Amino acid sequence: MSVAKRILAVVAVLLAAGLLLAAAWWSSRPAPDLVQGEVEATQVNVSAKIPARLASLAAREGQKVAEGDPVVMLESPELTARLQQAEAARAAAAAVRDKAYAGGREGEIRAGREVWQRAMHARERAEKTFARVERLHADGVLPTQRGDEAEANLVTSRDAEEAARATYDMAVNGARREDKAAAAATVDRANAAIAEVEAFRAETTLTAPVAGEVYRKHVEVGELVGAGYPIVTIVDLTDVWVTFNLREDRLAGLAIGDRLTARVPALGREIELAVSFIAPQGDFATWRSTSAQGGFDLKTFEMRARPVAPVAGLRPGMSAIVKWDRIPR
């Protein structure tokens, strides 16, 4: 065999050995420690305060809305009827209040004065009669019974005069102070009832509490909606984070504010994250020991990380993959 052939053979053997060593190293090297998380965002439900029927939706699923934009229109004929009842109650209460403050009409005042004057004259006659009977009784002309009758008649005439005077004063001055206060309170209560109905009527047009995109509608037009039931859900895409469920042995050295580099396959790029939350208590176990293994259960802790800068196109449900063994700690 020539020298050249020997050299080629040695080179071939060395190359084969190198390839075998490289293959052995590649197959025996540890697999990358990958942790997968999921993008989440703030979701807000638009709900009704009152039972009503869905009249229309001003925004479709997937449509962007600004904070304060009308989103849902409801209709409730019952509210219109309640408003009419409240307004009628207020009108009646106002009439009673005005009567209490204004007093009686001119004819009522004149009649009351005449009744009072007649009662006053009757009381004066009763006083004269009682005085005359008293003198005659003292002289022994009249029996005691006539004196008692005259005294009883005097008391009755005085009471009648007081009652007639009170009726006349009420006709002139109106109701008593307490009655006026009660009438005014009734009007205030009617006004409060109207304000309550008006507030409920304002709730028939529901606006977006946050800016975002309409994610899902839960009710169709024409259906009845109960109080508190969600009608549409809006996702705030400016408030997003990535949730990771970490096995407890991955938490060593991890702290709030630590930076992570995650790859988002849906975007085909890497994004920078900062740890914003670590659950104070573990949840379920991701790996359970057996008596034969002699190990222990490893619990899971929720960890959230927010993008350091806004990421265009980042949406809830996307995956974010972090190479955990490359995190600087």
Those residues whose C-beta lies under 8 Å from the C-beta of residue 242, and which sit 6 or more positions away, are 37, 38, 39, 40, 262, 273, 304, 305, 306, 307, 320
Lowest-confidence pick of 57-61, 105-109, 307-311: 105-109
Q: According to the model, what pLDDT value does residue 291 have?
A: 45
Lowest model confidence (mean pLDDT) among 66-70, 96-100, 197-201, 318-322 = 96-100
User: Residue 71 is encoded by which pair of tokens?
Assistant: 């989103």
pLDDT(102) > 70: no
- Other Cβ atoms less than 10 A from the Cβ of 46: the count is 21
Nearest to 305 by CA among 239, 242, 240: 242
Domain boundaries, the chain: 31-51+223-326, 80-200
- pLDDT 10s digits, 115-127: 778 878 877 887 8
Q: Which amino acid would we find at residue 270?
A: E
Block residue for tokens 């800068």: 309
Residue 177: pLDDT over 60: yes
What are the structure tokens assigned to 86, written together? Answer: 């409240």
At 290 the pLDDT is 47
Average pLDDT, whole number, for the chain?
79
CATH architecture assigned to 31-51+223-326: Beta Barrel (2.40)
Predicted structure pTM score: 0.62
Facing residues of 205 across strands?
A: 73
On the question of pLDDT at 1 being above 70, the answer is no
More confident residue, 88 or 3: 88
* pLDDT tens per residue across span 147-164: 666 677 767 777 777 777
